[in-house]
Structure 1
Amino acid sequence: MPLVNTTEMFKKAYEGGYAIGAFNVNNMEIVQGITEAAKEVNAPLILQVSAGARKYANHTYLMKLIEAALIETDLPIAVHLDHGDSFELCKACIDGGFTSVMIDGSHLPFEENIALTKKVVEYAHERGVTVEGELGRLAGIEDAVNVSEEDACFTRPEEVEEFVSRTGVDSLAIAIGTSHGAYKFKGEAKLRFDILEEVQRRLPGFPIVLHGASSVIPEYVDQINTFGGKMPGAKGVPEDMLRKAASMAVCKINIDSDLRLAMTATIRKVFAENPSEFDPRKYLGPAREEIKKLVKHKLINVLGCAGKA
């Protein structure tokens, strides 16, 4: 099956009351763990590439890894640019085979965000590529995204209709209380479902996206801390809140930090138990299996998209 854009998968997700998992990829083991899990439960996938991951792994290498995943799984898979910050970056990804891009103009004034987003949409749509825009800003740090708590702001529902109609975007990322990175919340996360409900009322049938939606699974944090890490007080979004969001207008839920934690916790454990280990297969292999286990859990128990490919 060739790569797909997000149009059909979002339509099915909205109507079916579930969300598609958008998992960030950086290397072969992460791609394998995610896609093997999806194949086993027959789930559609969005594989996300940040600007940092694209620079680290090289665009060509990542696309060839994803091409291999298509051959191995025969699943509907979209390749998505996460947090594109310029027209030039979005254009390079579109020209390089991505089927979906995000243009993040959320740091700009409203009119400038509209102008930039519309420019990307026009270029992308001519080439069959879908576009995600953003209104509101999530706090936190992840790759090139760095927003302080003071600069974070919730999405204003009264702006969403104008933004979507004037830009032509295919999906919209909103800020309702999630945040980027593992060091997320000083207390329990509380999503603003009132904002989500109002956005859904104003944009009926339109797919909404949640960024920063890792749950920061305590077992991984504890394991990292047990084997020399320092992650005090790391918290994420409770999975029951994500399930509720997926049953509403949210059709895409981004997961990155949980993948990193699963991989890091497993590798730390391997080295703690065998300090002399130097074969990458002996620590990257178990990390790949842990990612696979984590992704299957998310697909089945959180996103609800198992069996929907």
Structure 2
Amino acid sequence: MALVTTTEMFRKAYEGGYAVGAFNVNNMESVQGITEAAGELKSPLILQVSAGARKYAGHIYLLKLVEAALVENDIPIALHLDHGADFAICKSCIDGGFTSVMIDGSRFSLEENIEVTRRVVEYAHSKGTVVEGELGRLAGVEDDVKVNSEDSSYTHPDEVEEFVARTGVDSLAIAIGTSHGAFKFRPGQKPQLRFDILEEVSRRLPGFPIVLHGASSVSQEYVKIIQENGGQLKDAIGIPEDMLRKAARSAVCKINIDSDLRLAMTAGVRAALFAAPSAFDPREYLKAGRADVKTLVKHKITEVLGSAGMA
């Protein structure tokens, strides 16, 4: 099976009341763990690559790893650029085999965001690639994306119709209270998503696929494992999974998951190394990390996204 775009995935997700998981990949073990989980559960899948991942592993290495996963798993997989900073990086990924790209113009004014997004859309559509745009800014840190709380902002529903109409984007990432990074809320803080904004955006864009970034739930199980095995993580909580499931039942067709994957991989590797301090074979401790990634993704697909059996 060849790589696909997200168009048909999102149509089915919107009509079926579930979301497709967009899982960030950085190396072979993450690709294997994610795709094996989705393959066994027959779930559609989006593998996404950040600027940091491209710098770390290289575009070609990641592309070939994903192509290998297509041979091993009979499910629809889209390859997506996460947070494309400008036209050049989006063009590079489009020309380099990606089937979906995100152009993140949220740091610009509305007019500038429309201009850069429209330029990417025109080029992408000429190549058969789909485009995700963004309105509103999420706080937090993820690779090259760094936004402090003072500069973050919710999406304004009164801007979404003009943005979609003038850019021609295929999906829209909105800011309703999620944030990038593992440590979204400190103990005692109450996470709360602005479902009123989501509902108003959905009303203004009926049938249009909405995306949530920064949607990791920060598994306390993995945080505890890391802490017990020498990690210096502080206690924190992420987005409650019941809120994400509620979003997936509405217009949200794509939910991004990155920090939870990092925590799962790190927990598996740390536990393996502490259990065998003299171990020096990376195949052993990376295998443990891969297994925890697979377990996490299965949980997300069945308990949060609702996409099992929808491939």
**What's the TM-score bracket when you normalise by the shorter of the two chains?**
over 0.9
Deviation at 1:176, TM superposition (A): 0.3
Name the counterpart of 1:225: 227
The runs of 4+ residues in structure 1 deviating greater than 4 Å are none
Q: Deviations over 1:136-170 (max 9, x none)?
A: 00000010000001101000000000000000000
State how 1:135-214 maps to structure 2 within 5 Å: 135-186=135-186, 187-214=189-216
Partner of 2:253: 251
* Distance (Å, rounded) in 2 between the aligned partners of 1:139 and 1:89: 23
Q: Verify the 8 A CA contact 1:137 1:152 in the aligned structure 2.
A: yes
3-state DSSP of counterpart to 1:252: strand
Q: What residue in structure 2 maps to residue 291 of structure 1?
A: 293
Letter in 2 for 1:174: I
Report the equivalent of 1:110: 110
How far, CA to CA, are the matches of 2:236 and 2:267 in structure 1?
Answer: 14
Counterpart amino acid of 1:288?
Answer: R
Identity rate, percent: 71
2:228 and 2:136 map into 1 onto residues whose CA distance is 37
Structure 1 contact 51–84 (Cα < 8 Å) conserved? yes
Report the counterpart of residue 46 of structure 1 in structure 2.
Answer: 46
Residue matched to 1:77: 77
Amino acid at match of 2:264: A
Amino acid at match of 1:189: P
In the TM superposition, residue 286 of structure 1 has moved relative to its aligned partner by 1.0
Deviation at 1:229, TM superposition (A): 1.5
Match for residue 308 of structure 1? 310
Q: CA separation in 2, counterparts of 1:266 and 1:139? A: 28
Letter in 1 for 2:240: P
User: Over aligned residue pairs, what C-alpha RMSD do you find?
Assistant: 0.6
Secondary structure at 1:81 match in 2: strand
For 1:261-276, list aligned pairs within 5 A: 261-276=263-278
Partner SS for 1:132: strand
Please tell me whether the aligned partners of residues 188 and 235 of structure 1 are also in contact (alpha carbons under 8 angstroms): no
What per-residue deviation string (whole Å, max 9, x for no partner) do you get for residues 51-101 of structure 1? 110111011111110000001002110000000000000000000000000
Structure 2: how far apart are the matches of 1:36 and 1:265?
Answer: 19
Q: Is the 8 A contact 1:130 1:170 kept in 2?
A: yes
User: What does the per-residue CA deviation read over 1:189-216, in whole Å, with 9 as the maximum and x for residues that have no partner?
Assistant: 1000000000000000000000000000
* SS of the residue 2:75 aligns to: coil
Matches within 5 A, 1:23-42: 23-42=23-42
202-211 or 266-275, larger mean C-alpha shift: 266-275
Aligned equivalents of 2:276 and 2:299: distance in 1?
28
Q: Is the 8 A contact 2:21 2:305 kept in 1?
A: yes
- Structure 1 residue 233: deviation in Å? 2.7
Residue 188 of structure 1 deviates from its aligned partner by: 2.6
* Structure 1 contact 100–129 (Cα < 8 Å) conserved: yes
**Cα distance in structure 2, aligned partners of 1:295 and 1:239:** 13
Provide the C-alpha distance between the structure 1 equivalents of 2:230 and 2:304, rounded to a whole number of angstroms.
30
Give the Cα separation in 2 of the matches to 1:129 and 1:122.
10
**Counterparts of 2:309 and 2:55, CA distance in 1:** 34
Question: Which stretch of the first structure deviates more once superposed, 54-63 or 183-192?
Answer: 183-192
Counterpart-to-counterpart distance in 2, 1:249 and 1:48: 20
Structure 1, unmatched stretches of 5+, are none
Is the CA contact (8 Å cut-off) linking 2:210 and 2:252 kept in structure 1? yes
Aligned counterpart, 2:239:
237
